[in-house]
Structure 1
Amino acid sequence: MIYPDRGTAGHALGEKLGHLRVADPLLLGLPRGGVPVAVAVREVIGGDLDVLLVRKLGVPWQPELAMGAIGEDDVRVLNYDVMRHSEVTPEQLAAVEELERIELERRRRVLRAQPPIPLKDRTVVIVDDGMATGATVAAACEIARLHEPRRVVVAVPVSSVEALHRIRSVADEVTCPLVPPSLGGVGAAYRDFHQLTDAEVVELLHPTPSGADQ
């Protein structure tokens, strides 16, 4: 199965999450790619929408491979298996982390037009466009837990077997319709997997009222 785009994937994911409608969920999209998925899920099950800011720490010579992730509230998660197999040095890790912290702060300024919606006592649904190693989503789960939600649910359209196993240990519930035996990369599950711009994400989160620019 290949999804035409993130919106279609989100609608398919939302159909699997119908049981959450009564919980008045708080959907947290992981920018950038998780935001259009979260918007589409919300169209199916309702609830509130916000972002949860987290950045992957990619192996320097293979950036798509996550050796860890950082996020809001100074959360930091490392994937020691990837670091060991990639032979990443502490200095290389520190250099990548410094750059990603700068980008994390930039995104906070750009994407947060208002204070975050409180997570306390909410059913929180963390949404991304897919999981390869699960490091980014694992960091997101840790951030969410700091705010004492009622439940932490992870929902993604596609995942590797390994990432799914990892996330099941840190989330209360995981929903993923597509788990191929071998996932070469999340983008392989989509026909349109273009890199979203900040402007696209801002428009999804805070749509311009119809006719406002006329």
Structure 2
Amino acid sequence: MNAHYLFANRAAAGRALAQALEQVLAETDLADPVVLALPRGGVPVGFEVAQALGAPLDIIMVRKIGAPGHKEYGIGAIVDGAPPQIVLDHAIARTVGATDAYIEREVASELAEIERRRAAYRTGPPCQVKGRTAIVVDDGIATGNTVEAALRALAKSGPAKIILAVPVAPHGALARLRPLCDAVVCLATPEPFYAVGAHYADFGQTSDEEVVDLLARARPGCSQPSD
């Protein structure tokens, strides 16, 4: 593998992340862990973590809100719920010309996509997180808006602890997210930071079929609440 890349693929990143998490769990009293991955790219990483820790795997339904004309450039994110959790970088939104009307349309569109994915991915009842150690996993962090939305929504479900675990992220994003977690595990914080995919030799898109398969293989014990 080219030395430029930190990880061969998402599965390799997940195995490396699991080793770091095993050390954290061994040193800290973190009861009854459950792994919560951000679909789609976070699921292969989360699967490896869940397998290594002997923990169930579930997903957090979160979607990026993209800039007008540049959907991959995130200006915020949304997590479904009652009510949905929306995180916006208002300064960036103004800079890229995202009006209130545009944002409303994007929120409605992304909520519809969340519902589609929920119907496609769900292979059983959602994991109970109340009173458990929730380990939030993604394949990496760029702006941090998507993960921030996920963390804020998760906190409302009453987990005993929240751990954010990612293979790669910029220092600035981690600093902003750290107050929302009890612990952060990140394998690499390269500077300058350009894009998550730049640190993977294979960063091909994760398919819906792969997500469904990994969730089905990891489902045992997911619906069991902690005592």
Q: How does 1:1-214 map to 2 (within 5 A)?
A: 1-18=5-22, 19-20=24-25, 23-73=31-81, 74-207=84-217
- Asked if 1 retains the 8 angstrom alpha-carbon contact of 2:68 and 2:96, the reply is no
The residue aligned with 1:211 is none
| Alpha-carbon displacement from aligned partner over 1:61-99 (angstroms, at most 9, x marks no partner) | 222221111112111111223213323211221222221
- Asked if 2 retains the 8 angstrom alpha-carbon contact of 1:65 and 1:133, the reply is no
- Asked if 1 retains the 8 angstrom alpha-carbon contact of 2:123 and 2:215, the reply is no
Distance in 1 between the 2:95 and 2:163 partners?
A: 30
Percent sequence identity over aligned pairs: 41
Q: Which runs of no fewer than 5 residues in structure 2 stay unpaired?
A: 219-227
The CA RMSD over aligned residues, in Å, is 1.6
Aligned partner of 2:116: which letter?
A: R
| Alpha-carbon displacement from aligned partner over 1:99-147 (angstroms, at most 9, x marks no partner) | 1111011011111122211110000000000110111111111111111
Aligned partner of 1:3: which letter?
A: F
Distance in 2 between the 1:46 and 1:165 partners?
A: 29
| Superposition TM-score, scaled by structure 1 size | 0.92
- Asked if 1 retains the 8 angstrom alpha-carbon contact of 2:80 and 2:111, the reply is no
Q: Which runs of no fewer than 5 residues in structure 1 stay unpaired?
A: 209-214
Distance in 2 between the 1:34 and 1:129 partners?
A: 5
Structure with bigger RCO (C-alpha 8 Å, 6+ apart): 2
- Asked if 2 retains the 8 angstrom alpha-carbon contact of 1:20 and 1:45, the reply is no
- Asked if 1 retains the 8 angstrom alpha-carbon contact of 2:38 and 2:138, the reply is yes
